[in-house]
Amino acid sequence: MIELTMQDLSDIVGGQLVLADADSADSTISGEVHTDSRKVTPGALFFALPGESTDGHLFVGAAAELGASAAVVERAVDVAITQIVVPDGVAALATLAREVVARVRGRGRLKVVAVTGSNGKTTTKNMLRAILEQEGPTVAPFGSFNNHVGAPISMLGVDDDTEYLVVEMGASAIGEIASLIRIVTPDVGIVLKVGLAHVGEFGGPDAVETAKSEMVTDLPETAVAVLNIDDPRVVRMADKTRASVVWFGLDDRAEVRATDVVGSASGTSFTLLVDETSIPVDLRILGEHHAMNALAAIAATRALGVPPERAVAALGGLAKAARWRMEVQPREDGVVVINDAYNASPDSMAAALKTLAQVTAPDQRSVAVLGEMAELGEFSDEEHDRIGRLVVRLNIRKLVVVGHAARHIHNAAGLEGSWDGESVLVADADEAYDVLREELRPGDVVLVKSSGSAGLRFLGDRVAGVDG
């Protein structure tokens, strides 16, 4: 964060300044900003936010012990640390992020790129970081910091030297992306896809489309909207923005286009067609669907002046999409685990299964370990059923379905094919581990996939013998 005095910090968030004995109103703070006391480093600013299961005010003391310089609180606590008391900690966080980004923009050449979509946000954000950090000082979070708390925390990582800020914007309701856009208006806004992720919370696909379109509706004429030409719902967003539109995708009309997309066990390759040139692209990331994420990142950075050749070179050095996202975890006995269980939607589940079928050699056995796709609401039974049928149609050799909420995957697989023991329904991750320990043999390729709430990413680590 940029350097601020305690008084300046208090004035920005509209709080009451309660100074510790060792501080004055002119004392400065410029450290990291955290809401998790366990991550606090010396000089940090700690936001004590109330949560669903705990209250950040209980950890102000822990933050102080780790060296935090100040805490933003909703009520003063009996801890020897400077405190700024505000009515609403989340609102104060957003206000501070807005002001800090505005000051950095006003003093330098900061450009902001924001990305949203039902799938692929974090991978695309990581691709953007890989490209832009080769061009200049770049701030982009490690991990999926994309909500009303995580996104402002990401923004507060900028300082006066920062040239590029990459922000991931997620939503579980209409209005949430719009609120993030009001904090920081992007120079480039990306919409990847409108799918069924969180559709249960939104109330239907039309509501998801409305929410994702908030990325571009308030962009100024000077901004660029990077849109997926292959998704009809995203295409409609071009009529809702004043920004210049750049299309990416597989369609011949896309300005940034991919052809000859090929997935293999070593990664994904395609030919990039842009600016009347063709450039071979080799990604070390599993899954043909990641070609679309790469196109979005190339299109966005091209809008910022980065030559596509340099963007492609940077992407070639990206070893994996992110932790627990198509993460290849080979074992010494020849079993290969593909741990993609950070999150799941019908689209990403189907893409992961297609990748499993694609990368499994004829002399290997494909094994899918699948858990619940959460937050699908009324679409849940139908979409889990569809995934079970897809498993059979892709000729996946073994299916382990984990948890009652995912049972329709198991049931549909049994109805789709004349299986005899190829699909097993187990109660939990421990039971799944016991089954896999008995069943797996050298050469097996194992996909582990579920929503984060099912916790199968830890099962994937356990099967692979990887320490968390």
Question: Residue 125 to residues 119, 170, 233, 298, 394: CA-CA distances in angstroms?
Answer: 12, 12, 21, 11, 30
Q: What is the pLDDT of residue 344?
A: 87
Q: Please provide the CATH number assigned to the domain covering 327-464.
A: 3.90.190.20
Q: Are 367 and 458 in contact (CB under 8 A)?
A: no
Q: What is the pLDDT of residue 141?
A: 81
Assign 51 a pLDDT band (cuts: 50, 70, 90). confident
**305 alpha-carbon distance from chain centroid:** 24
Closest residue by Cα to residue 200 from 50, 374, 318, 343: 374
Res 196 pLDDT > 90: no
Q: What is the pLDDT of residue 450?
A: 94
Residue-wise pLDDT tens digits, 265-275: 888 999 999 99
End-to-end CA distance of the chain: 30
Cβ burial of 269 (10 Å; 0-12, 13-18, 19+) is middle
Cβ burial of 43 (10 Å; 0-12, 13-18, 19+) is middle
The structural domains of the chain, with segments of one domain joined by +, span 4-86, 92-316, 327-464
Q: Are 425 and 410 in contact (CB under 8 A)?
A: yes
Mean pLDDT of the chain: 92
Closest residue by Cα to residue 97 from 161, 38, 45, 173: 45
Q: What is the pLDDT of residue 421?
A: 75
Q: Is 117 annotated as a binding residue?
A: yes
Q: Are 97 and 139 in contact (CB under 8 A)?
A: no
**If you average pLDDT over residues 38-59, what whole number do you get?**
92
Single pTM value for the model: 0.86
> What span, in angstroms and rounded, lies between the C-alpha atoms of 384 and 377?
12
Bridge partners of 110?
Answer: none
Q: Is 111 annotated as a binding residue?
A: no
Q: Is 37 annotated as a binding residue?
A: no
Residue-wise pLDDT tens digits, 338-395: 999 988 889 899 999 999 999 999 999 999 999 999 888 888 999 999 999 999 999 9
Residue-wise pLDDT tens digits, 200-257: 565 678 888 999 999 999 899 999 999 999 999 999 999 999 999 999 999 999 999 9
Assign 322 a pLDDT band (cuts: 50, 70, 90). low
Q: What is the pLDDT of residue 251?
A: 97
CATH pick for 4-86 out of 3.40.50.2300, 3.20.20.70, 3.40.1390.10, 3.10.20.740: 3.40.1390.10
Assign 119 a pLDDT band (cuts: 50, 70, 90). confident
> What span, in angstroms and rounded, lies between the C-alpha atoms of 376 and 383?
8
Q: Is 138 annotated as a binding residue?
A: no
Count, residues in the chain = 468
> What sign has the CA pseudo-torsion 56, 60, 64, 66?
negative
Res 179 pLDDT > 60: yes
Q: Is 89 annotated as a binding residue?
A: no
Residues 433, 436, 438, 439, Cα dihedral to 10°: 170
**If you average pLDDT over residues 85-113, what whole number do you get?**
95
Assign 400 a pLDDT band (cuts: 50, 70, 90). very high
Assign 197 a pLDDT band (cuts: 50, 70, 90). low
Out of 58-67, 319-328, 445-454, least confident range = 319-328
Q: Are 340 and 449 in contact (CB under 8 A)?
A: yes
Main-chain dihedrals φ then ψ at residue 32, nearest 5 degrees: -70, 165
Q: Are 61 and 147 in contact (CB under 8 A)?
A: no
**If you average pLDDT over residues 104-124, what whole number do you get?**
92
Assign 173 a pLDDT band (cuts: 50, 70, 90). confident
Residues 293, 347, 115, 297, Cα dihedral to 10°: 0
Res 198 pLDDT > 60: no
């689209």: which residue's tokens? 347
Q: Is 154 annotated as a binding residue?
A: no
Assign 320 a pLDDT band (cuts: 50, 70, 90). low
**What is the architecture of the domain spanning 92-316?**
3-Layer(aba) Sandwich (3.40)
Q: Is 452 annotated as a binding residue?
A: no
**Sequence-distant (≥ 6) Cβ neighbours of residue 381 within 8 angstroms:** 408
> What sign has the CA pseudo-torsion 34, 38, 44, 47?
positive
Cβ burial of 75 (10 Å; 0-12, 13-18, 19+) is exposed
Q: Which residue has the higher pLDDT, 150 or 419?
A: 150
Assign 88 a pLDDT band (cuts: 50, 70, 90). very high
**If you average pLDDT over residues 79-83, what whole number do you get?**
97
Assign 313 a pLDDT band (cuts: 50, 70, 90). very high
